[in-house]
Amino acid sequence: MSSCAALPGDTCSPHLLPPGHNWPLRRQEAALEAESVVGSTEASVLPGWRSWRQRTQVGAGGGCNSPRHLRGQFLFIMGSPRVPARTVLFRRERTGLTYRVPALLCIPPRPTLLAFAEQRQSPDDAHAHRLVLRRGALAAGGVRWGALRVLATAALEEHRSMNPCPVTDAGSGTVFLFFIAVLGHTPEAVQIATGRNAARLCCVTSHDAGLTWGGARDLTEETLGAQAQDWATFAVGPGHGIQLPSGRLLVPAYTYRVDRRECFGKICRTSPHSFAIYSDDQGRTWHCGGLVPNLRSGECQLAAVGGSFLYCNARSPLGSRVQSLSADEGTSFLPAELVPTLAETARGCQGSIVGFPAPTPSREEEPNPPHLCPGVQDPLSGPFCHPQPWENSQEQPGPEPGLGGDGEAYTPMLPLPSVAPAQSPTWLLYSHPVGHRARLRMGIYLSRSPLDPHSWTEPWVIYEGPSGYSDLATLGSGPGAALAFACLFESGVRASYEDISFCMFSLREVLENVSGGPEMLHRSGKPWEHCRPS
């Protein structure tokens, strides 16, 4: 059995085995027999893959291409982009119970992953109920996920808990989970239209990496003060917060500010503005920063870039994303500008950003690096390279609906090839649906010069189906290994709120799959090859 073998009630995403290591027969046979679970739906939405049923028509003669060997596998077609395997962590239940608005936090040094979501009675925000969590242990490139847990303390009486936004203090190890508690079933749209705020700013803390949580703190008056009287509503995140090198903790937030009231105050004119909530004393007290002053900006995330700037990337109704910089660590923001290369969907959608150190061009690389398809450790015998049967199982439900999947995720710990000299000490990744008219196709974008709004690449589509909100996390890297990332995102077959899925990928994969990425060369000067059928 794998060292990542799941316990009862757990979901296991096995680690990347070294080249030449054959997957244990018992686990492989179990995966082969899971025909009803292995992603027939995946084959219908990913254009670069074919289901085993299609291939059995040409491989029925036996041998390595027979149905017995191809069953449950997906063939990598020449020229198709690689797609990370995904694990379904939260799934809509038959009763209508729905999971939305993911947030992901990676806690070093182990590391531990915390995957949060809203649990709703229906997809509507007025039917949000409470927050839930799954903890994951990362080791050797794989994740073992624990069962779903309800965060009972993250609540106020007669309020519904929404918008999870976690951040951790590296010095104390404390995890702060911010959220808003909204009175009754008042939708955000009603608050915006009437100018009557029903939201409270709340936080719960954990000192043991999410195993236990303290009671909820209502920080509304203490943090927001009198200025909240001019807000129609507000919210945090959603997604992760960050900590700056100075120790300052930052939580992204946005508000709909009341600009004018009409008809005796019954109708109000509002505008959305992003801002940051911050703490300089390891979370003992929190303060409200200034609003992004000009362009309409909503749900947002933050990253430290350029050594002295805080970068804010926000949702906007203006047709593309909005970015703004802060020169004082989020206390105030400079006027925002549009990011024309990051188009919004028709009604806009939340997106996630994460910053990471730009790779150095002198990094050592293996003389003969492996060429892998998604999740493949060693090509099987035969004239083509294809994934192991357990690797591309998109939809593998757990023992009960909504309690997660039994699918597999992977992080290929590959050497990082040489790249062009960095234009910035920090690069950014961004996740957002690619579709312009609807929330479709989750994309990963890269910027090597975050201060330039035109620096973003074309996306690498990591999921072809309906997609929505997402959150990115940096997983770090081991000795001689490429930097790895994780993405927790809303997904589905017919609608984006059917599942919340988790996947992992390396920086090398990003560089190889985004349009406009640097040419991948190894020491011979020849381009790095992709895994293709011969």
Q: Do residues 465 and 83 touch, judged by C-beta distance below 8 A?
A: no
Ramachandran bin of 127, using left for φ above 0, alpha for ψ from -120 to 50, beta for the remaining angles: alpha
DSSP symbol at 44: H
Q: Which residue has the tokens 């030449």?
A: 20
Q: Is 42 a catalytic residue?
A: no
Q: Do residues 213 and 155 touch, judged by C-beta distance below 8 A?
A: no
Q: Do residues 234 and 259 touch, judged by C-beta distance below 8 A?
A: no
10, 42, 118, 125: the catalytic one is 125
Element (H, E) at 67: helix 67-70
Q: Do residues 99 and 405 touch, judged by C-beta distance below 8 A?
A: no
35, 124, 221, 366: the catalytic one is 124
CA–CA distance, 382 with 63 (Å, rounded to integer) = 9
Q: Do residues 492 and 476 touch, judged by C-beta distance below 8 A?
A: no
DSSP symbol at 51: -
Q: Is 124 a catalytic residue?
A: yes
CA–CA distance, 447 with 459 (Å, rounded to integer) = 11
463, 469, 498, 499: the catalytic one is 469
Contacts of 295 (CB under 8 A, 6+ apart): 316, 318, 322, 335, 336, 337, 338
Nearest alpha carbon to residue 508 among 480, 489, 532, 534: 480
Q: Is 497 a catalytic residue?
A: no
Q: What is the DSSP string of 128-190?
A: EEEEEEEEEEEETTEEEE---EE-TTS--TTEEEEEEEEEE-TTT--EEEEEEEEETT--HHH
10, 329, 344, 490: the catalytic one is 490
Residue 460 CA, chain-centre distance (Å), reads 14
CA–CA distance, 115 with 106 (Å, rounded to integer) = 9
Q: Is 406 a catalytic residue?
A: no
Give the catalytic positions in this structure: 124-125, 469, 490
